[in-house]
Amino acid sequence: MDNREIIDSIRRRRQPHLPYVMGSLVGGAVGDALGYPVEFMSYASIQAQFGAQGIRSYWLDRTGGVALFSDDTQMTLFTAAGLLEAVTCDPVGLSREVVANHVYRAYLDWLHTQDHLFVSNPGASQLVDVPELQHRRAPGNTCLSALYSGQMGTIEAPLNNSCGCGGVMRVAPVGLLGDDGILRRAWAYAADVAAITHGHPMGYIPAAALAQLVSLLVMDRSQGASLERAVSSVIEGLPRWFADQREHADDMASQLRRAAALAAGVEPDYDCVVQLGEGWVGDEALAIAVFCCLRHPDSFDEAVIAAVNHGGDSDSTGAVAGNIMGAYLGIDAIGPHWTEHLELRGLIEGLARDLCEGCLGVDERGWCNDAAWLDRWARHPIGSLAVVRENS
Ligand SMILES: [Mg+2]
C-alpha cells in the first residue's frame, strides 16, 4: 500500500466515529452553556426565574443571542489542542508522559487567555489567538493556582490535594482521539491529564472513568453500544485500573452503581440528583451526569436539562452529561435549538474532525507535512517535530 492508500484506509476506518466524536465535543459545550448562567444559583432560585421545570433552554437575554460556554469547555478545547499537538509531534508510540506534557503546555496557553501577563508559553496552538477564548468564565481556583505554580502536577508528584471537578470536566477529548493506542487506555491518559492540576485521587479517578466511558461509546457504535453496558464496563474496570488507590476506586464505582440504581427507579430527577451530591467535586459531578444519562438514554435534551437543574455545579454536570450523551447518540441527536446559538460551534466541530481523523497529510514515515495542520496545532513544536520540519 502506498501512502495515499494508507491514509484513505485510516479515513474509512475512522469516518463512522465522527458523528459521535462531534456529538461528544459539541454536546459538552451545549450542556456547559445551558448550565453556566445558573452555576451559582440554588434550585429554588432557578425555578423562581425559569419556572417550575427549571431552565430548559439557553438563557440568551444578556449575551446578544450567543450561548456562552464556561471555563469547562474552554479547558476541554485546550485539552484537545494538547492531544493534537502530541500526535503531531510524536506520532509513533505516544507515552503517557509525552501526552501529559503536551496537554500541560496547552493548559499554559489557556492560562495566557485568562491572564495576558502570563506569557511563559509560546502559544503552541491556534486556540491561543481566538478572540472568543480571551474571556474569564469563572475559571476554577485549583486550575489557576496549579498552572501558576510553574510545575506540572502528576499522580506520583501531586501539586495539591484537590478533588474538585476541574479534572473530569475537561478530559472527554482523551476518549475521542482517533489514536487506537490511546483510545483503548483512555482512562490512564485521562488520569494523567487531570492530575496536572488535581492531586487527590478523586480529582483524577472520575476523569479516567469519563474518558474511558466516552471512548467505549464511540468505539462500540458499530456494534450497537449500550449506555448501561459501557457504564458497567467502567465500574468493573476502576478497581483494576487503580489497584494502588483501591479505596477511592471502589468509592467511585459504588457512586456510579448508585447512580444506575437511582436511574432505574421512579423518584423525580431532582430528588435523585441531590442524593448524589452537588457536583463541585469530581466524583459527584460524574455520578450526577451518569445518572441523568441513564435516566434519559434516548434524549440528549432531557439528559442535559436534568443535569443542570440543581443547586450545585450546573455547568460542569451539564458539560459531562453532554459529553456522554453526544458520544452515545451522536451529533444528529443534538437539535438546532442547541447548535444554532452555540458559541464557536464551527471551531468545536473542526476540532472534533481533527481529533477523529488525525492529520491526513503525512510523509512516507508517518510524519505530518500538512502546513495548515501544523499551523493549527503545532506552531512552536517541541522535540522531534523540529526535525520533521527541517526535513520537509
Ligand atoms: Mg464552569
> 292 C-alpha vs ligand 1 centroid, how far in Å?
19
- The answer to whether residues 307 and 272 touch, using CB atoms and an 8 Å cutoff, is no
Confidence tier at 109 by pLDDT (50, 70, 90): very high
Q: How far apart are CA 338 and CA 329, in angstroms?
A: 15
> 307 C-alpha vs ligand 1 centroid, how far in Å?
14
> 70 C-alpha vs ligand 1 centroid, how far in Å?
5
> 136 C-alpha vs ligand 1 centroid, how far in Å?
10
Answer yes or no: is pLDDT of 392 > 60. no
Mind listing the pLDDT tens digit for each residue in 344-368?
Answer: 999 999 999 999 998 888 887 778 8
Question: What is the percentage of the chain residues whose pLDDT exceeds 90?
Answer: 78
Mind listing the pLDDT tens digit for each residue in 189-248?
Answer: 999 999 999 999 999 999 999 999 999 999 887 666 799 999 999 999 999 999 999 999
> 171 C-alpha vs ligand 1 centroid, how far in Å?
14
Domain-embedded: residue 366:
yes
- The answer to whether residues 381 and 132 touch, using CB atoms and an 8 Å cutoff, is no
Mind listing the pLDDT tens digit for each residue in 12-42?
Answer: 888 889 999 999 999 999 999 999 999 999 9
Domain-embedded: residue 8:
no
Coil, strand or helix at 139: coil
> 316 C-alpha vs ligand 1 centroid, how far in Å?
6
> 139 C-alpha vs ligand 1 centroid, how far in Å?
6
Answer yes or no: is pLDDT of 172 > 60. yes
> 364 C-alpha vs ligand 1 centroid, how far in Å?
43
Confidence tier at 125 by pLDDT (50, 70, 90): confident
Q: Is 226 exposed, middle or buried, given 0-12, 13-18 or 19+ CB atoms closer than 10 A?
A: middle
The residue segments making up the domain with residue 334 are 20-391
- What is the pLDDT, as a whole number, of residue 114? 94
Give the orientation angle of helix 282-295 with respect to helix 246-264, to 10 degrees.
30
Domain-embedded: residue 328:
yes
Answer yes or no: is pLDDT of 320 > 70. yes
Answer yes or no: is pLDDT of 63 > 90. no
Pick the range with the lowest mean pLDDT from 29-43, 276-290, 371-385.
371-385
Instruction: State residue 75 phi and psi, 5-degree precision.
Output: -70, -30
Confidence tier at 151 by pLDDT (50, 70, 90): very high
Domain-embedded: residue 1:
no
- The answer to whether residues 284 and 318 touch, using CB atoms and an 8 Å cutoff, is no
Domain-embedded: residue 12:
no
Domain-embedded: residue 4:
no
What is the tally of structural domains in the chain? 1
- The answer to whether residues 3 and 364 touch, using CB atoms and an 8 Å cutoff, is yes
Answer yes or no: is pLDDT of 1 > 70. no
Domain-embedded: residue 323:
yes
C-alpha cell of 24?
Answer: 461528544
Domain-embedded: residue 5:
no
Average pLDDT over residues 100-127: 88
Q: Who wins on pLDDT, 313 or 15?
A: 313
Which CATH number fits the domain that encloses residue 83? 1.10.4080.10
- What is the pLDDT, as a whole number, of residue 257? 98
> 76 C-alpha vs ligand 1 centroid, how far in Å?
11
